[in-house]
Structure 1
């Protein structure tokens, strides 16, 4: 549902990526809200993508149908450029920015593979965040601040992501504690 004066706006989602010790962890809450009403508590906003023998993770915030359209397009770009996440992301961002249909999509994506984490927006941005953590969505800033505060601890990437998401859920009314968590281990770190 699009924002307008006649309909309530859709809010929700916190997606957090934490990269530490050769592991990337992507976590997303499950809440979808329509105005002041929670309409779903267990949505899956984080996905594992397996394309051409290469694994990547993707998490989305924004309009669900729009995000699924973007995820399908990202998978197609990854099929064209197996193992080249950045190239696929840049190609998706170009399409997103220039295609009349795609320009109207209201979503943001975090995508990651064993080597890098990228943030994609409808303005054509493909950003490689610094500091080992990045977040999007209603509670994204809360989760990001908590994750950054925990990065120097002995906690693993997944432990940091889970704790930061719990903190975000305590602060943001559009974020819940029902998480989907996916991890990838860098090939150089695999046993």
Structure 2
């Protein structure tokens, strides 16, 4: 349970997430880092769901990036295919957001590879709250992408009991 949100605006992509790790109805940790940069490929990843499963998927995604020379489209498609078809991997319970300077994708174990139409996407227990807040802020404010992600996560944390205010935010700037 968590909240991860990504916003593209003004040649920037920002991915942010909270730090709460819950086991059932108990908060086990408040400072987890669920958003990470893969510097070699300039890709940001964020995950929601089982921590061990998400780390496994992040490692597999990085292997796909290496295999496909950093091509994010090929990497997400091959990861989704492997995740869905492999007998062990298909039991993994997590969702991933990945973003580079040009593209953002949600990847699921059921084979979904979704690129948002409006540059805004979110996952996790507080994902719908953060998504609604981010879309409203994109449409009705002059805030930059990082400010929108931060504000959206704070709004989600105020609503979702599985989301806290300990945020990790990563940003990439594209050359326009």
Tell me, yes or no, whether TM beats 0.5: yes
Distance 1:167 1:25 in 2: 17
Distance 2:87 2:128 in 1: 30
Distance 2:74 2:87 in 1: 22
Distance 1:166 1:127 in 2: 25
Distance 1:19 1:138 in 2: 21
Give me the CA root mean square deviation.
0.8
1:12-52 deviations in whole A, cap 9, x for unaligned?
2100001100100000000011122110000000010123x
Distance 2:52 2:24 in 1: 18
The runs of 5 or more residues in structure 1 that have no matched partner are 1-11
Aligned with 2:42 (options 43, 51, 55): 55
Give the TM-score taking structure 2 as reference length: 0.97
Is 1:173 matched with 2:161? yes
Partner of 1:182: 170
Determine which structure has greater relative contact order: mean sequence separation of CA pairs < 8 Å that are 6+ residues apart, divided by chain length: 2
Which structure has the greater CA radius of gyration? 1
Distance 2:54 2:25 in 1: 22
Give runs of aligned pairs for residues 100-111 of structure 1, distance below 5 A. Answer: 100-111=87-98
Distance 2:162 2:62 in 1: 28
Give runs of aligned pairs for residues 95-134 of structure 1, distance below 5 A. Answer: 95-134=82-121
Give runs of aligned pairs for residues 147-162 of structure 1, distance below 5 A. Answer: 147-152=134-139, 153-162=141-150
Greater helix percent: which structure?
A: 2
Aligned with 1:39 (options 28, 33, 38): 28
Runs of 4+ in 1 over 6 A off after TM superposition: none
Is 1:77 matched with 2:64? yes
Distance 2:69 2:9 in 1: 24
Q: 1:129 Cα shift? A: 1.1
Give the TM-score taking structure 1 as reference length: 0.90
Aligned residues between the structures: 175
The runs of 5 or more residues in structure 2 that have no matched partner are none
Distance 2:39 2:169 in 1: 16
